[in-house]
Amino acid sequence: MPKQNKPEQDNGMPDIWSVQINKRWQDINILLLAYIGDAVYELWVRKHLLEQDIAKVQLMHKRAIFYVQAKTQAGILRHLMNELDETETEVVLRGRNAKGHYPRSVDVVTYRHSTAFEALIGYWHITGKNTRMGAVLNNIDGILETMATENSKKTERGTLPEETGKRGESKHEDHEL
């Protein structure tokens, strides 16, 4: 099979980030989209933190962990749901419902929502929807601030110890998308 020419950027360098596949996105395993999305999001997080002039690897790593942990990704997705179009919502639902293994360190619902978030990132990347993906990613710090405000309000109201479940999560917390 002959090697395909990759599109070039304005600087004459090949665009190594564009994806050329001979399939519709619907024909790609949703967990594969999530796998790609995980890598794209991780790279965006590192670039984003580098742009914030974080000079120490240990500090960058610590902050990156916050951005990429399942609980954070699931929270970001929850805030994005009302802004998604029909196709994006389909990707999220497929990602959320995908069967796969999950780590013991996080509950299955949170993990599935984070998988759905990663599948959405993978979908945007695979389909070349970079403007849409960039708009959402560039708004993540705003979403995280909103999440922090909501969490501080929950803390101010207080949660009784007997109302908490495994890992300190409220049993009454809404896990719906």
Average pLDDT value for the chain: 82
User: Which member of 10, 15, 27, 38 is catalytic?
Assistant: 38
**pTM score, two decimals?**
0.78
Continuous segment of H or E residues that includes residue 8:
none
Homologous superfamily of 25-146 in CATH?
A: Ribonuclease III domain (1.10.1520.10)
Q: Is 116 exposed, middle or buried (0-12, 13-18, 19+ CB in 10 A)?
A: buried
Task: Give the pLDDT mean for 72-78.
Answer: 96
Question: 35 to each of 28, 30, 43, 115, 122, how far by Cα in Å?
Answer: 11, 9, 13, 9, 7
Asked whether the predicted pLDDT for residue 18 surpasses 80, the reply is no
Q: Is 38 a catalytic residue?
A: yes
Task: Give the pLDDT mean for 119-123.
Answer: 96
Decide: helix, strand or coil at residue 176.
coil
